[in-house]
Chains A and B, each alone.
Chain A
Amino acid sequence: MNNFSYLKINELAEATAIHATQSGSQYIGGGTNLLDLWKYNLIHPTALIDLTRVKEGQNIRELEDGSVRIGAFVTNADTAYNPLIEQRYPLLSRAILAGASGQIRNMATNGGNLLQRTRCYYFYDPDLPCNKRNPGSGCPAIDGYNRMHAILGTSDECIAVYPSDMSVALAALGATVNVRGRDSIRSISLEDFHRLPGNTPHIENNLRPGEIITSLDLPAEGFRNNYSYLKIRDRNSYAFALVSVAIGLTLSEGVVTQARIALGGVAHKPWRKTDAEEFLKGKAPDEVNFKKAADILLEGARPFQYNAFKIELARRAIVRNGMMALDPSSQLPGAQPSA
């Protein structure tokens, strides 16, 4: 663990300026991932720039076009329990509540949630090779104990999984990430925010150096009537997903008019394919059709020695969650299987 200086700032412009001039400085929100990585000697920030009291990004509000903007510095708990989110985007609320613990959700910020890093135990051991931590050193997970690792979008350099539950729901909802840099303000679709490992597993997202996430925009359609988040894990609570599924549906006269399916626990980013969603349009929301959609979404899935079970588990979880989405009132705490 290295020493660092600490600064709490009120203006984003100040934050980006300091970040640009102080080499090795990092932004901190709730600190629930960053301080853990630092304690394990995986990161060595020279300075922490605390963004939690900046004037922007501290609330959740509806925009003129009916979309909703969620501040990046609002805590996960405040977001999940916000009345606007509970009513209009219950899928997001459920997904957030399926992750971490009550205490961690009280501390963690929305921006920080998006930026959290893999919990791959090889990544977490600084004495072992890891292409993410140390480019070119190798990936011990590929031929190692890879039960928690990815089955989709992997590369020869990295098979890590991205663990955020919130992001799986954001992917299904088609969120946009608003960011601010020293000289720029821009938006990135959530789909394009996180990267697959390819041959650059050390670069996890498409932020430019110094950029800060300020808010997330959710399109007006929140799938409030038919939605479900299902998280399959080794325990009923307080564990990362083996596989998770976020589904949102709009139905009319017994058939699907719009569908969204996103998977967690299976790749370096939330996994979503519009082909699988297009397939469901005009079809009855039943097990046969959810299974066909699952087959499309899981195309190209590649098993490793200890995680082959994830492919069939994901297929069944998609079907199960599709059926759960037909009756959201049947959902259990912790995104457990129900209905």
Chain B
Amino acid sequence: MLINLNVNGQDRTLEVLPWVSLLDALRDRLNLTGTKKGCDHGQCGACTILCDGKRILSCMTLAVMKDGSSVTTIEGVATDGKLHPIQAAFIEHDAFQCGYCTPGQICSAIGMLQEGKASTRDEVKELMSGNLCRCGANVGIIDAIMEVRENFNK
């Protein structure tokens, strides 16, 4: 099936079989390997991307389901060579060790801030609970998000 996706600002047309996940389409067909396959079952959050402005799990979505949508992956989060505030804060607050969960964490954090529902640290932790980090960088991740949250403009 032929589908159209706007990926990181670029219009792309792909021929995909119906059962190809959006994650596999991004990684294998478009060579955007920043988004990671952690569990492939919607449980770890490493595959989190922004689709039509909302954070979703790309492993639990078929590429064909998003025909016509706009997708932002970790590769598209910085603008004009300038790091997104979340990316800069992650570096500053030691929010990653191995880095595997990090693209998903960053996309999820951006999506979460755009949802505008997290005010307190406890709420941020709750709303980020769909992104697992086995290295234990969670404290730094939440610190980074809390710093950006103070200054976030939708």
Interfacial residues, chain A to chain B (CB-CB below 8 A): 1, 3-6, 8, 28, 31-32, 35-36, 39-40, 48, 50, 52, 77, 81, 100-104, 106-107, 237-238, 332-334
Contact of A237 among B65, B112, B126 (CB under 8 A): B126
Interface centre among A5, A8, A50, A103 (most CB of B within 10 A): A103
Verify if B72 is at the interface (C-beta below 8 Å from A). Answer: no
Contact of B18 among A48, A52, A238, A333 (CB under 8 A): A48
Nearest B-chain residue to A239, judged by Cβ: B129
Closest Cβ–Cβ distance, residue A29 to chain B (whole Å): 10
12 more contacts with CB within 8 A, not counting A4-B19, A35-B21, A103-B108, are A3-B19, A28-B65, A31-B65, A39-B41, A101-B131, A103-B45, A103-B56, A106-B54, A106-B56, A107-B56, A238-B129, A332-B122
Verify if B115 is at the interface (C-beta below 8 Å from A). Answer: yes
Chain B 99-136: CB-based contact to A (< 8 A → 1; otherwise 0): 00000000010011001010000110111111100000
Interface size on B, residues (CB 8 A): 34
Query: Given A6-B18, A102-B115, A333-B123, are A107 and B57 also a contact pair (CB < 8 Å)?
Result: yes
Interface centre among B17, B40, B130 (most CB of A within 10 A): B130
Chain B 1-33: CB-based contact to A (< 8 A → 1; otherwise 0): 100000000000000011101000000000000
Closest Cβ–Cβ distance, residue A196 to chain B (whole Å): 28
Chain A contacts of B130 at CB under 8 A? 100-104, 238
A6→B129 contact, CB < 8 A: no
Closest Cβ–Cβ distance, residue B63 to chain A (whole Å): 10
Nearest B-chain residue to A75, judged by Cβ: B54
Verify if B149 is at the interface (C-beta below 8 Å from A). Answer: no
Nearest B-chain residue to A2, judged by Cβ: B19
A6→B1 contact, CB < 8 A: yes
Chain A contacts of B67 at CB under 8 A? 8
Closest Cβ–Cβ distance, residue B59 to chain A (whole Å): 8
Contact of B64 among A6, A77, A81, A107 (CB under 8 A): A6
Contact of A4 among B18, B41, B55, B117 (CB under 8 A): B18
A104→B57 contact, CB < 8 A: yes
Verify if B137 is at the interface (C-beta below 8 Å from A). Answer: no
Closest Cβ–Cβ distance, residue B92 to chain A (whole Å): 24
Chain B contacts of A4 at CB under 8 A? 18-19
Interface centre among A50, A77, A104 (most CB of B within 10 A): A104
A81 CA / B118 CA spacing, docked (Å): 12
Closest Cβ–Cβ distance, residue B114 to chain A (whole Å): 11
Query: Given A4-B19, A237-B125, A333-B126, are A106 and B55 also a contact pair (CB < 8 Å)?
Result: yes
Chain A contacts of B18 at CB under 8 A? 3-6, 48
Chain B contacts of A32 at CB under 8 A? 42, 57, 60
A104→B127 contact, CB < 8 A: no
A35→B126 contact, CB < 8 A: no
Interface centre among A4, A28, A31, A101 (most CB of B within 10 A): A101
Interface centre among A32, A35, A237 (most CB of B within 10 A): A35
Chain A contacts of B64 at CB under 8 A? 6, 8
Closest Cβ–Cβ distance, residue A18 to chain B (whole Å): 15
Verify if B70 is at the interface (C-beta below 8 Å from A). Answer: no
Nearest B-chain residue to A39, judged by Cβ: B41
Chain A contacts of B111 at CB under 8 A? 102-103, 106
Chain A contacts of B19 at CB under 8 A? 1, 3-4, 6
Interface centre among A1, A35, A36, A102 (most CB of B within 10 A): A102
Chain B contacts of A48 at CB under 8 A? 18, 62
A4 CA / B20 CA spacing, docked (Å): 10
